Amino acid sequence: MENNSIKNCLYETIHRNKKSVAQLADETGISSSYLYRSALPTDESGVRFPLDYLLPLMKATNNYSILKHIANLCGFVLTALPHLKKNKKEKNDMIAEYQDSTVTATKKMIVFFSTPTEENFNEATKALHEVLEKSCSAKQIIEKEFSGQLEFYL
Protein backbone atom coordinates (compact mmCIF):
# COMPACT_ATOMS: atom_id res chain seq x y z
CA MET A 1 0.00 0.00 0.00
CA GLU A 2 1.29 3.42 -0.84
CA ASN A 3 2.60 5.75 1.83
CA ASN A 4 -0.53 7.90 2.15
CA SER A 5 -1.87 9.67 5.16
CA ILE A 6 -5.38 9.03 6.41
CA LYS A 7 -6.18 12.61 5.39
CA ASN A 8 -5.13 11.86 1.78
CA CYS A 9 -7.24 8.68 1.76
CA LEU A 10 -10.17 10.71 3.07
CA TYR A 11 -9.63 13.32 0.35
CA GLU A 12 -9.61 10.61 -2.35
CA THR A 13 -12.75 9.01 -0.92
CA ILE A 14 -14.70 12.27 -0.83
CA HIS A 15 -13.42 14.06 -3.92
CA ARG A 16 -12.57 11.23 -6.33
CA ASN A 17 -15.84 9.38 -6.75
CA LYS A 18 -19.00 9.66 -8.84
CA LYS A 19 -20.99 11.55 -6.21
CA SER A 20 -20.71 15.22 -5.39
CA VAL A 21 -19.77 16.48 -1.95
CA ALA A 22 -23.38 17.64 -1.53
CA GLN A 23 -24.71 14.15 -2.32
CA LEU A 24 -22.28 12.56 0.13
CA ALA A 25 -23.20 15.10 2.78
CA ASP A 26 -26.86 14.24 2.33
CA GLU A 27 -26.19 10.49 2.52
CA THR A 28 -23.89 10.70 5.54
CA GLY A 29 -25.73 13.35 7.54
CA ILE A 30 -22.84 15.79 7.77
CA SER A 31 -22.83 19.32 6.37
CA SER A 32 -21.27 19.66 2.93
CA SER A 33 -18.94 22.49 4.01
CA TYR A 34 -17.68 20.47 6.98
CA LEU A 35 -17.29 17.38 4.78
CA TYR A 36 -15.38 19.40 2.18
CA ARG A 37 -13.07 21.08 4.72
CA SER A 38 -12.38 17.94 6.76
CA ALA A 39 -11.01 16.19 3.68
CA LEU A 40 -8.57 18.84 2.53
CA PRO A 41 -5.08 17.31 2.90
CA THR A 42 -3.38 20.66 3.46
CA ASP A 43 -6.07 22.09 5.73
CA GLU A 44 -4.46 23.77 8.73
CA SER A 45 -7.78 24.70 10.37
CA GLY A 46 -7.75 21.62 12.57
CA VAL A 47 -11.05 20.35 11.17
CA ARG A 48 -11.20 16.63 11.86
CA PHE A 49 -13.46 14.08 10.26
CA PRO A 50 -15.80 12.54 12.85
CA LEU A 51 -15.25 8.80 13.22
CA ASP A 52 -19.00 8.23 13.53
CA TYR A 53 -19.40 9.26 9.89
CA LEU A 54 -16.59 7.13 8.48
CA LEU A 55 -18.64 3.97 7.89
CA PRO A 56 -21.56 5.83 6.23
CA LEU A 57 -19.03 7.66 4.01
CA MET A 58 -17.30 4.44 2.96
CA LYS A 59 -20.65 2.79 2.21
CA ALA A 60 -21.90 5.82 0.26
CA THR A 61 -18.77 5.92 -1.92
CA ASN A 62 -18.10 2.17 -1.95
CA ASN A 63 -14.49 3.13 -1.24
CA TYR A 64 -12.82 1.36 1.67
CA SER A 65 -9.28 2.65 1.12
CA ILE A 66 -9.33 4.44 4.48
CA LEU A 67 -10.13 1.19 6.28
CA LYS A 68 -7.44 -0.64 4.27
CA HIS A 69 -4.94 2.10 5.14
CA ILE A 70 -5.74 1.90 8.86
CA ALA A 71 -5.48 -1.91 8.77
CA ASN A 72 -2.12 -1.64 6.99
CA LEU A 73 -0.80 0.86 9.56
CA CYS A 74 -1.71 -1.64 12.30
CA GLY A 75 -0.05 -4.56 10.51
CA PHE A 76 -3.20 -6.21 9.16
CA VAL A 77 -4.37 -7.14 5.69
CA LEU A 78 -7.93 -6.16 4.89
CA THR A 79 -9.77 -7.89 2.09
CA ALA A 80 -13.39 -8.02 1.09
CA LEU A 81 -15.01 -11.41 1.33
CA PRO A 82 -15.62 -12.73 -2.17
CA HIS A 83 -18.90 -13.78 -3.66
CA LEU A 84 -18.50 -17.51 -3.64
CA LYS A 85 -17.86 -18.96 -7.06
CA LYS A 86 -20.25 -21.64 -8.20
CA ASN A 87 -19.20 -22.94 -11.59
CA LYS A 88 -15.95 -24.42 -12.80
CA LYS A 89 -15.23 -21.56 -15.23
CA GLU A 90 -15.38 -18.98 -12.42
CA LYS A 91 -13.09 -21.12 -10.27
CA ASN A 92 -10.63 -21.42 -13.16
CA ASP A 93 -10.78 -17.63 -13.62
CA MET A 94 -10.02 -17.19 -9.90
CA ILE A 95 -7.00 -19.50 -10.21
CA ALA A 96 -5.73 -17.62 -13.29
CA GLU A 97 -6.16 -14.23 -11.55
CA TYR A 98 -4.28 -15.53 -8.51
CA GLN A 99 -1.45 -16.81 -10.69
CA ASP A 100 -1.26 -13.50 -12.58
CA SER A 101 -1.11 -11.51 -9.34
CA THR A 102 1.72 -13.66 -7.95
CA VAL A 103 3.71 -13.35 -11.19
CA THR A 104 3.19 -9.58 -11.18
CA ALA A 105 4.26 -9.31 -7.54
CA THR A 106 7.39 -11.35 -8.23
CA LYS A 107 8.33 -9.08 -11.14
CA LYS A 108 7.70 -5.94 -9.05
CA MET A 109 9.90 -7.33 -6.25
CA ILE A 110 12.73 -8.02 -8.72
CA VAL A 111 12.50 -4.45 -9.99
CA PHE A 112 12.47 -3.08 -6.44
CA PHE A 113 15.49 -5.11 -5.32
CA SER A 114 17.46 -4.04 -8.41
CA THR A 115 16.43 -0.37 -8.05
CA PRO A 116 15.05 0.39 -4.56
CA THR A 117 13.22 3.67 -5.23
CA GLU A 118 10.09 4.90 -3.50
CA GLU A 119 8.06 4.34 -6.68
CA ASN A 120 9.31 0.75 -6.99
CA PHE A 121 8.65 0.22 -3.28
CA ASN A 122 5.05 1.43 -3.67
CA GLU A 123 4.47 -0.76 -6.73
CA ALA A 124 5.97 -3.85 -5.07
CA THR A 125 4.02 -3.44 -1.84
CA LYS A 126 0.80 -2.78 -3.76
CA ALA A 127 1.34 -5.97 -5.82
CA LEU A 128 2.15 -7.99 -2.70
CA HIS A 129 -0.96 -6.65 -0.99
CA GLU A 130 -3.03 -7.77 -3.97
CA VAL A 131 -1.56 -11.28 -3.64
CA LEU A 132 -2.53 -11.31 0.05
CA GLU A 133 -6.07 -10.21 -0.79
CA LYS A 134 -6.40 -12.84 -3.50
CA SER A 135 -4.99 -15.46 -1.12
CA CYS A 136 -7.65 -14.66 1.49
CA SER A 137 -10.38 -14.84 -1.16
CA ALA A 138 -9.04 -18.11 -2.59
CA LYS A 139 -8.83 -19.60 0.90
CA GLN A 140 -12.49 -18.85 1.56
CA ILE A 141 -13.55 -20.34 -1.78
CA ILE A 142 -11.47 -23.47 -1.16
CA GLU A 143 -12.89 -23.86 2.35
CA LYS A 144 -16.44 -23.51 1.00
CA GLU A 145 -15.73 -26.07 -1.72
CA PHE A 146 -14.22 -28.50 0.78
CA SER A 147 -17.08 -28.13 3.26
CA GLY A 148 -19.48 -28.93 0.44
CA GLN A 149 -17.46 -32.04 -0.37
CA LEU A 150 -17.56 -33.15 3.25
CA GLU A 151 -21.36 -33.33 3.05
CA PHE A 152 -21.02 -36.10 0.46
CA TYR A 153 -18.97 -38.22 2.86
CA LEU A 154 -21.55 -38.11 5.67
Phi-psi region of 17 (alpha: psi -120 to 50; beta: other; left: phi over 0): beta
pLDDT tens across 129-146, in order?
A: 899 888 988 888 888 788
pLDDT tens across 29-57, in order?
A: 988 888 888 877 665 666 778 888 999 99
List of long-range contacts for 93-102, beta carbons under 8 Å, 24+ apart: 94/137, 94/138, 94/141, 95/138, 97/134, 98/131, 98/134, 98/135, 98/138, 101/127, 101/130, 101/131, 101/134, 102/131
